[in-house]
Amino acid sequence: MPVLHNRTPVTSPAGVTVDPREPVTRLLRDLRVDETGLSAADAARRLERHGPNVLPRAARAGLLSAVVRQFTHPLALLLLAAAVLAAVSGTTELAWAILAVVVLNAVFALVQERQAGRAVDALGRYLPPHARVRRDGAVLSLAVAEIVPGDIVLLGEGDRVPADCRLVSGALEVDAAALTGESAPVDRDALALDRAGRALDSPVLVWSGTACVGGSAEAVVHATGSDTEIGRIAALTRRRGVEQSPLERQVRRVAYLIAAIAVGVGIAFLPLGVMAGLSWTEAVIFAVGLLVANVPEGLLPTITLALAGGVRALARRGALVKRLSAVETLGSTTVICTDKTGTLTAGEMSVQEIRDSTGAVLDGPGPELVDAVVACSTADLAARIGDPTELALLEMAAAAGADVRADSRDRRRRALFAFDPRRRAMSTLDAVADGHLRVHVKGAPEFVIPRCGKDVAESGPVVAAIDEMTGGGLRVLAVAARDWPDSPAPGRDEAEASGLRLLGLVGLLDPPRPEVPAAVEACHSAGIRVHVVTGDNGRTAAEIARRVGLGVDRVVDASTLDTLPTDELKALLAGTGEIVFARTAPETKLRIADALRADGHTVAMTGDGVNDAPALHHADIGVAMGRGGTDVAREAATMILTDDNFATVVAGVEEGRRVYDNVRKFVLYIFAHAVPEVVPFLLFALSGGLVPLPLTVLQILAVDLGTETLPALALGRERAEPGLMERRPRRPGEGVVDRRMLVRAWALMGTVSAVLGVGLFLLVLVRAGWTPGADTSTGSPLHHGYLQATTASFAAIVACQVGTAFAARTDRTSLRRVGLTSNRMLLWGIAFELAFAAALVYVPPLQDVFGTAALPVWVYPFLLVMPVIVWGADELFRWAGRRRDRGPAASAVTGRAGSRAGTHEPGRASRSWSGEARPGQRQA
């Protein structure tokens, strides 16, 4: 359904629905208040009815439910089942060890994920603690929580608006960037004609949590608490809980598949054990062994630790991630919806273009223009206090060598007429170098130009220059002056009357961050589209988008978007280009994110303002700015950029892809060992018991929880493979486990390892004098030989693990390109694996527990060549795959050319007059 934002209806004390944009006299009547304010008794009644002016806190999931969620994960359930089975088989020590793995993993994940979900608390911090309110004809300082609809509040420079209000007198300049996304302050005037398309743009309304940067006014409160705009945003932020990431969904599916296979195989082979002559107890232990062999005990903690490693790596690159699974989700991003202000741009105004009185472009400001912008200002550049536009003008003057100190300016000032939102201009009377007085005026061209004489007002070049500058997304100020005789200081009307002399036109812009174009190019290379979703006007946003390299096909205003049916919105987003969505409200951003996600996209939403919080919370990945962003955005987001650098989003995508690749690598590594662990039990069953069990349950657990773990963790730390950021994003629903992985894991490396392990087992057993069906039980002459044979089988699996670990380091390329010793952690992991296996084989107490015996020396040459055989088989498989792909597909490599959002002409650029060059700017 379309969403409309043109009216903000509220309920009056009489129960009548009122519109805050209606005429003031009617609004005051409907709210039952006059210029003296509410009485204390009436205010108390309204407070009881409407409640305190605070934002309600969202109910959070309890600790118990969070703990239960961690322990009911399918892999956690499999691990718990393995612990129970280990206990049933009499190995309580290993049962406790498995249980410890489950508990530690759950605690670690719980601590990480409980850091999220505090957005509403941060929204509450946007409300000031006290406000000036008129009640019973007297001005009081009241706690903001006590303000009610109908209160008359007094607002001035430096105040934060305590509730949603309608101005009844006066005028204000308001910084609403956190709410609307506009970087420049906006004018609000009680007498303005309200023709705005949406309530947020109304010139007579001010909103809770926004800041007054100039002027003074009185306003009547029409909404408090959760009924305010910021309260509505809080409700939107709470609307959606945390969804599972693609990796979490895929791991859950894999876990259920593994569970089904494990249970199915265990049940199916239980009667085979009985048929082979085993007692029911022995048959149960046999089935337990099969089940344990199929359970990847090390998978869940390895995934958790790999994601945690990704979190740490991102932190080093300037991004803080609050949910472990978000690291992987970043890697699957297909669309980034980015805010403009403070994300693509620096979040501060900068002079981009200067024109003289004829409209001609200047290389730099003239001395009179510099003197005028310094004199006609109330900002303090040294303290960074004042209007962002004035600070930008002072930076321009400072770069030109002017004295911009506030005390120097104030010493020569004779009169100040502060910025008037009605006139959209300010003026000063100042002493100049020759001792005379001069009036300086700066403001909107439509106010200043007509006062510069008919010749200037009707000048085609000047009008064309203004149109060209505004068409380029610049905010244009006209600066003028006139000499004043040494007589009493003029009044405002007299000072700003006709007879002004135009000194020049100044174009300002919140400029793009210098690193953003390269980041956008990297997104295009990675097959990621970037849409701009902003509360700012479309012309300015489109200009910024083009300057950073986005292929903007169209600009869609929220008023148009909100009336689009859902199917038309999906069709719009399904196009190949990139879009600027302008003047968007929080609901609009949610619609865009939902439409993209419904089409199968993984959406990353960036932003820094209060108005971004619902969309940040609702997207697959919400990315907030850490320095310039609001507390609200930071709390609602999944990832926070500590350097406010859009390029860090791209680094996050790269890190996410690396983590996902590495998850696949250690899943391959872990899966490859299932075959040599299961085959011995199948051999035992299919031989009808003629061949004794080549591997015990305890030895399987020693592999899964001991020798396997550190190399798997080391694979999670692999560096990114070449061309990682030139691939297309993963297809929606593409699993961690695919057919090719299963071929490598089970049909190739697993089968080779199983053949080598069983072959060595039989060789050792035969050399000990065994014949099929011979007794190998405890006390028999062949028992020691049998222990050596099972130990050889165990050692063969460990040796094959080494080869599998090196093979799993790369999916396509050769190990030579990756580097044999580039992963030092893997080398240490293999060293631990071999030392652990040696301890099980040679330490007497461990021999008793795990049923091992010292190996004869002649076995070791066989063990030494096994890693090379396993790795070599996979290397040949990958080589054949590269040869097969070295056809027409090679020209696309990973589809880089086809994945770009378009080839983009750089937007028109300009020079920065703050003393430093900015990339991609036009030479004046």
Under 8 Å CB-to-CB from 302, ≥6 apart: which residues? 666, 670, 709, 712, 713, 716
Instruction: Give me 461's structure tokens.
Output: 């070049």
Q: Is residue 905 part of a domain?
A: no
**CA-to-CA separations, 550 to 410, 519, 527, 635, 652, in angstroms, rounded:** 45, 11, 13, 29, 20
- CATH number of the structural domain spanning residue 580: 3.40.50.1000
pLDDT of res. 896: 38
pLDDT of res. 760: 98
**CA-to-CA separations, 86 to 181, 286, 671, 698, 840, in angstroms, rounded:** 59, 12, 21, 8, 18
Residue 52 shares a structural domain with residue 192:
yes
pLDDT of res. 238: 62
For residues 541 and 560, give the distance between their C-alpha atoms in angstroms, rounded to a whole number. 16
pLDDT of res. 109: 63
Cβ atoms 589, 612 nearer than 8 A: yes
pLDDT of res. 34: 92
Cβ atoms 455, 486 nearer than 8 A: no
Residue whose structure tokens are 């990297």? 522
Helix (H) or strand (E) holding 312: helix 299-316
Q: Is residue 922 part of a domain?
A: no
Q: Is residue 917 part of a domain?
A: no
Sheet holding 425-431, edge to edge: 350-355, 501-509, 475-484, 437-443, 425-431, 413-420
Under 8 Å CB-to-CB from 29, ≥6 apart: which residues? none
pLDDT of res. 711: 93
- CATH number of the structural domain spanning residue 163: 2.70.150.10
Residue 261 shares a structural domain with residue 338:
no
Which residue, among 441, 431, 443, 425, has the nearest Cα to 495 in the 3D structure?
441
Residue 178 shares a structural domain with residue 208:
yes
- What is the DSSP track for 92-122? HHHHHHHHHHHHHHHHHHHHHHTT---HHHH
Residue 688: phi, psi to the nearest 5?
70, 25
pLDDT of res. 630: 66
pLDDT of res. 629: 65
Residue 691: phi, psi to the nearest 5?
-100, 125
- CATH number of the structural domain spanning residue 439: 3.40.1110.10
Residue 165 shares a structural domain with residue 180:
yes
Cα angle 83, 87, 89; round to 5: 115
For residues 506 and 18, give the distance between their C-alpha atoms in angstroms, rounded to a whole number. 42
Residue 357 shares a structural domain with residue 330:
no
Residue 749 shares a structural domain with residue 855:
yes
Which range of residues forms the domain containing residue 801?
246-315+655-897
Q: Is residue 406 part of a domain?
A: no
Cβ atoms 217, 171 nearer than 8 A: yes
Under 8 Å CB-to-CB from 26, ≥6 apart: which residues? none
Q: Is residue 364 part of a domain?
A: yes
Q: In 774-910, which ranges are continuous DSSP H helix?
A: 783-807, 815-818, 824-842, 844-850, 860-885, 888-892, 896-899
- Burial string for 577-589 (b: 16+ CB within 10 Å, else e) reads ebbbbbbbbbbbb
| Cα 550 to the center of its chain, rounded Å | 20
Residue 853 shares a structural domain with residue 866:
yes
- How many domains is the chain partitioned into structurally? 5
- Average predicted confidence (pLDDT) for the chain: 82
How long a stretch of residues is the chain? 924
Under 8 Å CB-to-CB from 253, ≥6 apart: which residues? 735
CB atoms within 10 A of CB 489: 12
Helix (H) or strand (E) holding 82: helix 74-88
Under 8 Å CB-to-CB from 478, ≥6 apart: which residues? 442, 443, 444, 445, 447, 448, 449, 452, 502, 504, 505
Which residue, among 507, 500, 497, has the nearest Cα to 423 in the 3D structure?
497
Residue 463 shares a structural domain with residue 356:
yes
- Burial string for 495-518 (b: 16+ CB within 10 Å, else e) reads bbeeebbbbbbbbbbbbbbbbbbe
Rounded (to 5) percent helix, strand, coil in the chain: 50, 15, 35
Phi-psi region of 665 (alpha: psi -120 to 50; beta: other; left: phi over 0): alpha
Q: How many Cα atoms occupy the beta-carbon half-sphere of 344 within 13 Å?
A: 29
For residues 23 and 63, give the distance between their C-alpha atoms in angstroms, rounded to a whole number. 51
pLDDT of res. 909: 35
Cβ atoms 127, 29 nearer than 8 A: no
Residue 363 shares a structural domain with residue 424:
yes
Positions in the chain whose pLDDT score sits under 50: 1-8, 115-124, 126, 888-924
Q: Which residue, 619, 652, 685, sits at the end of a domain?
A: 652
Residue 807 shares a structural domain with residue 744:
yes
Q: Which residue, 652, 674, 701, sits at the end of a domain?
A: 652
pLDDT of res. 212: 87
Q: What is the 3-state secondary structure (H, E, C) of 825-862?
A: HHHHHHHHHHHHHHHHHHCHHHHHHHCCCCCCHHHHHH
Helix (H) or strand (E) holding 335: strand 335-338
Which residue, among 626, 655, 782, has the nearest Cα to 720 in the 3D structure?
655
- CATH number of the structural domain spanning residue 270: 1.20.1110.10
Residue 761 shares a structural domain with residue 875:
yes
Residue 917: phi, psi to the nearest 5?
-80, 145
Cβ atoms 443, 423 nearer than 8 A: yes
Instruction: Give me 814's structure tokens.
Output: 């050769």
Cβ-count burial of 632 within 10 angstroms (0-12 exposed, 13-18 middle, 19+ buried)?
buried
pLDDT of res. 310: 83
pLDDT of res. 118: 43
- Contacts by 562-566, CB closer than 8 A, 24 or more apart: 562/2, 562/3, 562/4, 562/5, 562/587, 562/588, 562/591, 563/2, 564/2, 565/2, 566/595
pLDDT of res. 507: 94
Question: What pTM was estimated for this model as a whole?
Answer: 0.70
pLDDT digit string, tens, across residues 831-860: 999 999 999 999 999 999 889 999 999 999
Residue 739 shares a structural domain with residue 858:
yes
Q: Is residue 183 part of a domain?
A: yes
**CA-to-CA separations, 454 to 358, 437, 505, in angstroms, rounded:** 13, 24, 17
Q: Which residue, 187, 213, 238, sits at the end of a domain?
A: 238
For residues 509 and 913, give the distance between their C-alpha atoms in angstroms, rounded to a whole number. 11
Under 8 Å CB-to-CB from 68, ≥6 apart: which residues? none
Q: Is residue 485 part of a domain?
A: yes
- Partners of 319 in beta bridges: 641
Catalytic residues: 339
Q: Is residue 5 part of a domain?
A: no
210: which DSSP letter? -
